[in-house]
Structure 1
Amino acid sequence: MKCIIVDDEPIAREGIRLLVDEIPQLELLKSFNNAESAAEFIKDITVDLIFLDINMPGINGIEFAHSIPKHTLIIFTTAYSQYALDSYEVDAIDYLVKPIDSIKFRKAVNKAIVYHSLLINEEKKRVDSIEDEYIFVKSDRKYFKVNLDDILFIEGLKDYVIIQMNNQRIITRMSLKAINELLPTSIFFRINKSYIVNKNHIESFDNNDVFIKNYEIAIGYTFREDFFKDFTNNKSL
Structure 2
Amino acid sequence: MIEQQVSCIIVDDEPMALNLVESYVLKTPFLKLEQKCGNAIEALEYINNHKIDLLFLDIQMPDVTGLQLSKMLPKHTKVIFTTAFDEYALEGFKVDAIDYLLKPFNYAEFLAAASKAKEWFTLIKSKDNVVETAVGKEFLFVKSEYKQLKIKLEEVLYFEGLKDYIKIWLKDQPKPVLTLMSLKSLEEELPLQKFMRIHRSFIISLENIEAIERSQVLIKDKRITVSDQYKAKFLAYISNNSLD
Q: What does the per-residue CA deviation read over 1:123-159, in whole Å, with 9 as the maximum and x for residues that have no partner? A: 996xxxxxxxxxxxxxxxxxxxxxxxxxxxxxxxxxx
- 1:30 counterpart residue number: 35
Match for 2:17: what amino acid? A
Q: Does 1:54 align with 2:59?
A: yes
1:114 to 110, 119, 129: 119
Aligned 8 A contact 2:71 2:95 in 1: yes
Q: Give the drift of 1:121.
A: 2.3
Q: Give the drift of 1:38.
A: 0.6
TM-score normalized with structure 2 length: 0.50
1:6 to 5, 11, 19: 11
- 1:76 counterpart residue number: 81
> Within 2, Cα distance between the matches of 1:6 and 1:19?
14
Q: What does the per-residue CA deviation read over 1:42-89, in whole Å, with 9 as the maximum and x for residues that have no partner? A: 111010110000000011000000010111111000111110010011
TM-score normalized with structure 1 length: 0.51
Q: What SS class does the counterpart of residue 29 from structure 1 fall into?
A: strand
Runs of 5+ consecutive residues of structure 2 not aligned to the other structure: 1-5, 131-238
- 1:85 counterpart residue number: 90
Q: Give the drift of 1:117.
A: 0.8
> Within 2, Cα distance between the matches of 1:7 and 1:104?
18
Q: Give the drift of 1:40.
A: 0.7
Runs of 5+ consecutive residues of structure 1 not aligned to the other structure: 126-172, 175-237
Match for 1:79: what amino acid? A
- 1:207 counterpart residue number: none
> Within 1, Cα distance between the matches of 2:77 and 2:129?
17
Greater gyration radius: 2
Match for 1:109: what amino acid? A
Query: Percent identical across equivalent pairs?
Result: 42
> Within 1, Cα distance between the matches of 2:127 and 2:45?
28
Q: List structure 1 runs of 4+ shifted beyond 6 angstroms.
A: none
Q: What SS class does the counterpart of residue 37 from structure 1 fall into?
A: helix
Change (3 A) 1:9 1:87: same
Q: Give the drift of 1:7.
A: 0.2
The aligned length equals 128
Structure-to-structure mapping, 1:75-224, within 5 angstroms: 75-121=80-126
Change (3 A) 1:124 1:42: farther
Q: Give the drift of 1:122.
A: 5.2
Change (3 A) 1:122 1:88: farther
